[in-house]
Structure formats: structure tokens, C-alpha cells
A and B are shown apart, each in its own frame.
Chain A
Amino acid sequence: MADSAAEARIDQALVARVLLADDRRAFEQLMRRHQGMVRAQLRRLLHGDHAMADDLAQETFLLAWRKLDQFRGDARFSTWLYRIAYSCFLQACRKQSPSANDTDSDTLERLSATAQPVDLQLDLERAMQRLSTAEQTVLLHCIQMGLSHEEAAYVLAMPLGTVKTHALRGKAKLKTWLAPWQAAPDKEQTP
């Protein structure tokens, strides 16, 4: 907690240096501190499309550079960046054809056809793909990226209650789908 407060203070100081002294090096430091998680967020949202994720990450930081004076410090700087990245992702999805965004039906066929789980992580990956887009997105931000429900609501521009509902439903579905692993824990570790 203290660490995250210290990190937030460093970010605030760097933002102030950019705004007051037009310090590009300070922005570079901000970028170096946060590019890893922003790109990881986008890679997850784009189901592993690294090239597209990096394009959107570039767009995110260019937007952050242009709109930095709108950052008021109400949220953490990282959360503000995730929000910009998520809106870039949504815009990119809108530009693409709607069918391109849906989960491939063949993939789902293969998922449901898997009778015997072979590897827990693989099954988890498949189970995640079976969740609705909103559930996947909420679980990504709340659990995998470690944001609070409030922060996830800010990033995803969703009501707090909706975020909590998606998180609960998503986890409940994962529990159901991964239940065979609990029944046979000895099979869990495969080389």
C-alpha cells in the first residue's frame, strides 16, 4: 500500500515536470514505468495480437502526451493510462468488422469437445475464452492486473455494481468449468 502511494507520488512529480517544464525526459520515464503493463493489458484484450497491441500502446502514449494537462490526479496515473488504452482498444474494435471481434465459433466447438482436460492452464485459457467479453475484461483488470473494483470501473467506464457482477459471474463460471480439476487434483501437474 505504501509502495503504491510512493509510486503514485513519483508519477505525480513526473507529470508535473512534463507540464511545468515541458520535460520530455520526464515523460519518457513515465512511459518506461508503465509501458509494460499497458502493452500487457492490450495484448490480453487483443487475445495475443502483439503487433496490434503495440500499435494501440503507441496511440495510447501519444494521446496521454497530448492530454496530459487533463490528468488531475484523481486516479493513479497508471489507471488513467489503462483507461486511455481501453478506449483506444474499443475504437479499434469499432473500426473492425463486428464478426472479427467475436470468438471464433470453431474455437468454441473445439473447447466444448474437450472431454478430458490435459493441462490446467490450457483449460483455464479455454474457459476464459468461453466467458463473455465483459467478464473476461473485468477479470483481466480486477484479478490479473490487480486493480480494485473501483479502479476497474473507472478504466472500463462501467458502473461499480456491473463490474462486481461480471467478476462474480465470471469466477462462478470458471469454478464450474474447472471443477473436474478439483475432483482429480493428482492429474493437475503435467510436464
Chain B
Amino acid sequence: MNHPDDDTIDALLRKQFEGPVADDGFCERLMQRLPPRRRRIAWPLWAGVAAGIAACGLSLVAMPWLPAGWHDLAGGEFSASAIALLAVVAGMSLLACWWTLAEADDR
């Protein structure tokens, strides 16, 4: 028994599909139901980001190991505080990468 080939099946399926439906007032009805567009307010997000950065900076400045680590790094010395500083920076970079990828995935 011969089986129909791929092209025959494709042609049959396309023929079976009715194609686009006529409008018949669909758009007009829907336009009447369309709510006003909500404008996304951007300032709360940016205010939050700025507050977060400020809080982070203030808490880090208060840490004694931060200037010490920075000083050691500048001198090319890998002390405990320098490694801690590098670890914090690497951790924050990884978090930023993960957040960016997660945001990109959602879109």
C-alpha cells in the first residue's frame, strides 16, 4: 500500500484550513472595550535603585575592611580584606548577570 508523500499531506492540510476569519465588526466591538492605556510611572523604580545603591554604599563605607582591602589591592597584596572585597564585587557581578538573564528570559 502506497502512502501519500509529505507534500500531499501538507497540501491537504493547507486546503483544510479555512484561513483568516472575516472581521464582521469584531474590531469595532473590541475598540469600544479598549481601556485607556496605563502609563508606567518610572520614577519609583529609579528612586528605589538609587536608594539601594546609597544604602549599599553607606554600609560598605562603614566597614573597616573596605578601605584596607582597597589599599592592599592597589599595592598588589592579596590580603584577607582584599580577597573579601574581590569576592563581594564578583558576587554582585554574578547577581547582576543572573538578574539580566532572568529579565531577558521573561521577554
Checking A27, A54, A143 against B14 with a beta-carbon cut-off of 8 angstroms, the contacting residue is: A143
Closest to B38 in A: A66
- Chain A-chain B contacts (Cβ-Cβ < 8 Å), number: 100
Min CB distance, A136 to chain B, in Å? 11
Checking B4, B16, B40 against A182 with a beta-carbon cut-off of 8 angstroms, the contacting residue is: B4
Contact of A125 with B34 in the complex, beta carbons under 8 Å: no
Contact of B27 with A32 in the complex, beta carbons under 8 Å: yes
Contact of B3 with A62 in the complex, beta carbons under 8 Å: no
Contact of B12 with A183 in the complex, beta carbons under 8 Å: no
Binary A-proximity of B1-30 (CB < 8 A = 1, otherwise 0): 111111011101111111111110011011
Interface residues in A, total, Cβ within 8 A: 45
Main SS of chain A's interface residues? helix
Contact of B3 with A176 in the complex, beta carbons under 8 Å: yes
Chain B residues with CB under 8 Å of A62's CB are: 30, 33-35
The answer to whether A180 has its CB under 8 Å from any CB of chain B is: yes
How many residues of B sit at the interface, in one of the four size bands?
20 to 34
Closest to B6 in A: A171
Chain A residues 80-110 with CB under 8 Å of chain B are: none
Contact of A144 with B16 in the complex, beta carbons under 8 Å: yes
Contact of A144 with B31 in the complex, beta carbons under 8 Å: no
Chain B residues with CB under 8 Å of A180's CB are: 1
Checking B3, B20, B23, B27 against A40 with a beta-carbon cut-off of 8 angstroms, the contacting residue is: B20
Min CB distance, A170 to chain B, in Å? 9
The answer to whether A187 has its CB under 8 Å from any CB of chain B is: no
Min CB distance, B28 to chain A, in Å? 9
Chain B residues with CB under 8 Å of A181's CB are: 4
Contact of B2 with A43 in the complex, beta carbons under 8 Å: no
Q: Can you list 18 A-B contacts (CB < 8 A)?
A: A36-B20, A37-B20, A40-B18, A40-B19, A58-B26, A58-B29, A62-B30, A62-B34, A66-B35, A69-B40, A125-B16, A139-B13, A143-B14, A171-B6, A171-B10, A175-B3, A178-B3, A178-B12
A residues contacting B by CB (< 8 A) are 18, 22, 24, 27-28, 31-32, 35-37, 39-40, 43-44, 54, 57-58, 61-62, 65-66, 69-70, 72, 74, 120-121, 124-125, 128, 139-140, 143-145, 171, 174-176, 178-183
The 3 closest A-B pairs by CB, nearest first: A36-B20, A144-B17, A39-B21
